[in-house]
């Protein structure tokens, strides 16, 4: 249950629009709800600022639809990652306005008012093959309430493509850099920018890239300061970290 949803429920009780028994039934599943195959964390938004995200990989379409059904009550917007088209169709059967991004493999159901934009996040990718991970990061950052710009296919194989993107780099509060192969773009951006940089290695590359291990190790060993690294192909994790940073910026500005 998100903060606004809980506040609204208490206001309804205060104004007599909801009786105490109905309010109790709404609250009794807090802080979690056991569906048998999943235990939903309804307090995630109160602690973290955003509703529990559904990792769809490994779950059946029916399970995913039931999880969305329980999480999307009231004013909650819900995000699903690593979702198949079958999973989306099952969710869409319950929520016709659900949105699917086939490239990023995300499902989004928007509810309530859009969150106030709290920060600027720039998503950069080295190559077009990195776009599924980059788009997962971009959509996650947008759903969590950030201004997002995308700068794609600016890897080190053609450094001249990066030179006219400096204004975008300066615009950002946080930069997410997504790269496979040797992952060199993250180090280059680390040498140009003073903002926090979150590097995402991808599994893109030929055999010696070892499904992203080469990029991961290169990013971890970067001599560029101010850069953190998330797991291979983890666009969601990068966006969640970036959102944590912009949340802190938003609090400082209030």
Q: Name the residue ranges covered by the structural domains of the chain.
A: 3-109, 120-253
Q: What is the pLDDT of residue 148?
A: 96
Q: What is the pLDDT of residue 87?
A: 95
Q: In terms of DSSP H, where are the helices of the chain?
A: 3-15, 20-27, 44-48, 61-71, 85-92, 131-143, 166-171, 184-192, 213-220, 235-253
Strand pairing category for 197-201 and 174-179: parallel
Q: What is the pLDDT of residue 6?
A: 67
What tens digit of pLDDT does each residue of 1-44 get? Answer: 455 566 777 777 888 877 777 766 666 556 766 577 666 666 66
* Local structure of residue 108 (DSSP, 8 states): E
What tens digit of pLDDT does each residue of 165-180 get? Answer: 888 999 999 999 999 9
Tokens of 203: 């599994």
More confident residue, 254 or 150: 150
Tokens of 42: 């309804």
Phi (first) and psi of residue 112, to 5 degrees: 70, -170
Q: Which long-range contacts (CB under 8 A, 24 or more apart) does 50-53 make?
A: 50/143, 50/144, 50/243, 51/2, 51/76, 51/77, 51/78, 51/79, 52/78, 53/78, 53/79, 53/80, 53/81, 53/140, 53/236
Q: What is the pLDDT of residue 1?
A: 42
What tens digit of pLDDT does each residue of 36-90 get? Answer: 766 666 666 666 667 778 899 999 999 999 888 887 765 678 899 999 999 999 9
More confident residue, 226 or 141: 141
What's the length of the chain? Answer: 254
Q: How confident is the prediction for the chain on average, in pLDDT?
A: 86
202, 212, 203, 200: which is closest to 175 by C-alpha? Answer: 200
Q: What is the pLDDT of residue 43?
A: 60
Domain 120-253, CATH: 3.40.50.1970
């Amino acid at each position: 249950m998100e903060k606004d949803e809980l506040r609204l429920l208490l206001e309804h009780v205060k104004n007599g629009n909801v009786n105490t028994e109905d309010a109790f039934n709404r609250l009794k599943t807090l802080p979690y709800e056991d569906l048998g195959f999943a235990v939903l964390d309804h307090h995630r938004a109160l602690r973290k600022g955003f509703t529990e995200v559904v990792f769809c990989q490994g779950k059946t379409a029916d399970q995913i639809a039931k999880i969305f059904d329980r999480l999307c009550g009231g004013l909650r917007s819900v995000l699903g990652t690593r979702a198949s088209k079958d999973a989306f169709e099952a969710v869409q059967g319950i929520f016709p306005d659900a949105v699917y991004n086939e490239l990023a493999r995300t499902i989004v159901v928007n509810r309530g008012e859009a969150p106030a934009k709290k920060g600027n996040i720039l998503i950069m990718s080295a190559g077009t093959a990195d776009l599924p991970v980059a788009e997962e990061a971009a959509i996650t950052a947008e759903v969590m309430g950030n201004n997002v710009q995308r700068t794609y296919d600016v890897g080190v194989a053609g450094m001249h493509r990066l030179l006219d993107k400096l204004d975008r780099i300066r615009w950002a509060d946080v930069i997410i850099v997504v790269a496979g192969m040797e992952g060199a773009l993250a180090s280059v951006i680390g040498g140009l920018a003073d903002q926090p940089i979150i590097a995402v290695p991808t599994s893109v590359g030929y055999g010696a890239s070892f499904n992203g291990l080469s990029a991961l190790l290169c990013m971890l060993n970067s001599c560029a300061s101010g850069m953190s690294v998330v797991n291979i192909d983890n666009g969601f994790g990068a966006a969640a970290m970036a959102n944590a940073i912009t949340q802190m910026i938003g609090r400082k500005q209030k």
